[in-house]
Amino acid sequence: MTFSTLVTTFVRSHKREYFLAASMLGLISLLSVTVPRRVGMIVDGLVAHRLDQTGLFQHLAWLLATGLAIYFLRVGWRLQLFKAAYQFGVDLRTRLYAQLSQQGLGFYQQARTGNLMALATNDVDAIEMVAGEAMLAGFDGSLTLLLVVASMLFGVDWRLTLVALLPFPFMAYAFWRISNQVHLKSSQALQRFGAINEHVQESLTGVRALRALGAEPHGMRQFSVLAGEAAAADLDAQRWQAAFEPVVGITLSAASALTLALGGYLVWHDRLTVGALTSFTMYVGQLVWPMFAAGWVLSLVERARAAWDRLEPVLSAPASVQDDGAIDHRPVGVLRLDHVDFTYPGQSTPALYGIALDVAPGGTLGIVGPTGSGKSTLIRLLLRQYAPTSGAITWGGASLAQYRLSTLRAAMSWVPQEAFLFSASIADNIALARPDATRSEIEQVAQIAAIHGDILRWPQGYATPVGERGITLSGGQRQRLALARALLAQSDLLLMDDALSAVDTLTESRILQHLQAERAAGPDSAAGTRRMAVIATHRLSAVADADWIVVLRAGHIVASGTHAMLLAQDGWYASQWRYQQLEASLDAL
């Protein structure tokens, strides 16, 4: 969608507000252009001694009433116009938020969070100005210019009008040159703002790492450089925007000089009255606003166009995972991967290839392997954050792509290694997927995740607020809260991606025992179903009781079987098991 189409579509959808604002502005312009004519009549009446005291007071009363009418009309159009303009910003931010919420990991691997935040603030503000300030200045300035020129041409003297307009073509050329530079410099300024926003976002997110490494001075130097570049870019944009004013000043000065020269000659030869020349001079003065309005509109439009050039690609970006499925009931049956291959976008080496396995309802699949073997990638494919390059993933006989994304994700619970917590209470974080959950249900899943005792030791218990991103909690506590949240969701598939890596072995053993008991309880458990589970982990004790275990290496299954079968094969799994058991026994000493 082009920028002009965007603005036109919005104005049409809010035509009532814009019509009322335009009508009020039209009345203001009509009233304003009558003032110089009225003043000219007063001057001629006083010079000719035709105006008595009563007549003078009547004219002055009319001028006062006109001023009051203009005041109230200006209040009215502002209420109408800016109500619509602010809604423009709301609509754009809503569209952007909806678009970002639907995008998958493929999109966020290329987009920067700080820059996206800048789009939602600075860039949308720039576009919003077109629906408000630019619309006001454009309509009011154009109408005022038309009425003033018409009053000068037909109401005073056509010769003076033609002479006064001689400098305006040169002003139009200068405006065209300046507006091109405003667009370029505004685009650069918005990009610099996005860069500084990105740096701040990354620094605040990684503030603990910066402090631990003593890297604060380096971060400050980087911020200082970015801030300087942003300030310089803004200054360049403002410098070109400020160039409109001198052009207007020179143009109007030239117009005034030419007017006074010709007007003085006409008055001297009795071809024009002093009152008419006074009126014309006041009309020339009224051209100041239309000229300034033209420069102001051009600067706002060019800045908004630059912002739209940055925002539109994000709004129109196709979803990294298409949501075109038709099945809207939750899957029931076997989860199957049939010779699945996957290569990340932009990569040539497959991350997974030839993956074939089944997970029966109520069953547990363990996925193990060395770092970089593809465990997390396999979880992402099951979550449908990515689509397989070849092969098929089916659940209940239907491909995952045949399900609506909302339905599919409602059937899954995911516990990542890096658990994300929101700035809310402990209870609210656990009940994220089920805000209507009772306290009893929340406590039940907290006990399964072995976090209930920790919560009770905190000052406010389940009402204890969590700092931003869970910064007040340890890694193990965040993981256990995320596990409790997943268990409360009542999903059919539990996906755990190294979800207990920050938990000690004793606590891990308790959690696994609780999970086994909860799954064995069936429909009466906290989840309300005999859910299947897929556990990707580097700690083999987490999958020792799984129904089936696969060992990945370089994206391919190199071994599979039960825990006992893999130990008997005496391969990577057996050697890693012995090493981890030795490590656990040494930690227990």
Residue 179, φ and ψ in degrees, nearest 5: -65, -35
- Residue 524: predicted pLDDT: 45
- Please give the tally of structural domains in the chain: 1
Angle CA 167–173–177, to nearest 5: 140
Across 71-91, average pLDDT: 79
Across 390-399, average pLDDT: 92
- Residue 535: predicted pLDDT: 92
d(CA 176, CA 208): 50
Instruction: Say whether pLDDT at 559 is over 90.
Output: yes
Residue 152 belongs to some domain of the structure: yes
Instruction: Say whether pLDDT at 436 is over 80.
Output: yes
Q: Which residue has the tokens 């003033």?
A: 148
pLDDT one-digit tens code per residue, 127-152: 888 887 777 777 777 777 777 777 77
- Residue 558: predicted pLDDT: 93
Across 204-209, average pLDDT: 68
- Indicate the pLDDT class of residue 358, thresholds 50, 70 and 90: very high
Across 18-29, average pLDDT: 78
Cβ atoms within 10 Å, residue 71: 11
- Indicate the pLDDT class of residue 175, thresholds 50, 70 and 90: confident
Residue 182 belongs to some domain of the structure: yes
End-to-end CA distance of the chain: 67
- Residue 50: predicted pLDDT: 73
For residue 426, what are its two tokens? Answer: 């402990």
Residue 502 belongs to some domain of the structure: no
Per DSSP, the residues of 562-584 read -HHHHHHHTSHHHHHHHHHHHHH
Instruction: Please tell me the least confidently modeled range out of 117-121, 248-252, 577-581.
Output: 248-252
- Residue 528: predicted pLDDT: 42
CATH of the domain at 137: 1.20.1560.10
Instruction: Give the alpha-carbon dihedral of 88, 92, 94, 98, to 10 degrees.
Output: 160
- Residue 526: predicted pLDDT: 44
Instruction: Give the alpha-carbon dihedral of 396, 397, 403, 406, to 10 degrees.
Output: 20
- Indicate the pLDDT class of residue 369, thresholds 50, 70 and 90: very high
- Residue 520: predicted pLDDT: 62
Instruction: Say whether pLDDT at 382 is over 60.
Output: yes
Residue 464 belongs to some domain of the structure: no
Instruction: Please tell me the least confidently modeled range out of 371-380, 391-400, 431-440, 462-471.
Output: 462-471
Instruction: Say whether pLDDT at 36 is over 70.
Output: no
Using left for φ > 0, alpha for ψ between -120 and 50, and beta otherwise, residue 408 falls in alpha
Residue 472, φ and ψ in degrees, nearest 5: -80, -5
Instruction: Say whether pLDDT at 104 is over 80.
Output: no
- Residue 398: predicted pLDDT: 92
Residue 173, φ and ψ in degrees, nearest 5: -65, -45
Residue 357 belongs to some domain of the structure: no
Residue 301 belongs to some domain of the structure: yes
Q: How far is CA 294 from CA 142, 176, 242, 308, 494, in A?
A: 8, 11, 13, 21, 61
pLDDT one-digit tens code per residue, 489-522: 888 899 999 888 878 778 888 888 888 777 665 5
Which among 321, 332, 388, 320 is positioned nearest to 360, based on CA atoms?
Answer: 332
- Residue 527: predicted pLDDT: 42
Across 268-273, average pLDDT: 74
Do 282 and 39 meet the contact criterion of CB atoms below 8 Å apart?
yes
d(CA 228, CA 220): 12
For residue 6, what are its two tokens? Answer: 């965007």
Instruction: Please tell me the least confidently modeled range out of 120-124, 154-158, 237-241, 457-461.
Output: 154-158
Across 92-103, average pLDDT: 86
- Indicate the pLDDT class of residue 58, thresholds 50, 70 and 90: confident
d(CA 216, CA 584): 37
Instruction: Say whether pLDDT at 121 is over 80.
Output: yes
d(CA 200, CA 196): 6
Residue 425 belongs to some domain of the structure: no
Average pLDDT, the chain: 82
Instruction: Say whether pLDDT at 445 is over 80.
Output: yes
Instruction: Say whether pLDDT at 367 is over 90.
Output: yes
Residue 112 belongs to some domain of the structure: yes
- Residue 354: predicted pLDDT: 92
- Radius of gyration, alpha carbons of the chain: 36
Instruction: Give the alpha-carbon dihedral of 405, 407, 412, 418, to 10 degrees.
Output: 40
More confidently predicted of 470 and 106: 106
H, E, C per residue of 162-208: HHHCCCHHHHHHHHHHHHHHHHHHHHHHHHHHHHHHHHHHHHHHCHH
User: What is the domain range of residue 155?
Assistant: 3-315
- Indicate the pLDDT class of residue 525, thresholds 50, 70 and 90: very low
Across 555-567, average pLDDT: 93
pLDDT one-digit tens code per residue, 315-333: 888 877 777 888 888 888 8
Instruction: Say whether pLDDT at 300 is over 80.
Output: yes
Instruction: Please tell me the least confidently modeled range out of 67-71, 154-158, 261-265, 386-390.
Output: 154-158
d(CA 336, CA 93): 40
- Residue 149: predicted pLDDT: 77
3-state helix, strand, coil in the chain (%, to 5): 65, 10, 25
- Residue 353: predicted pLDDT: 92
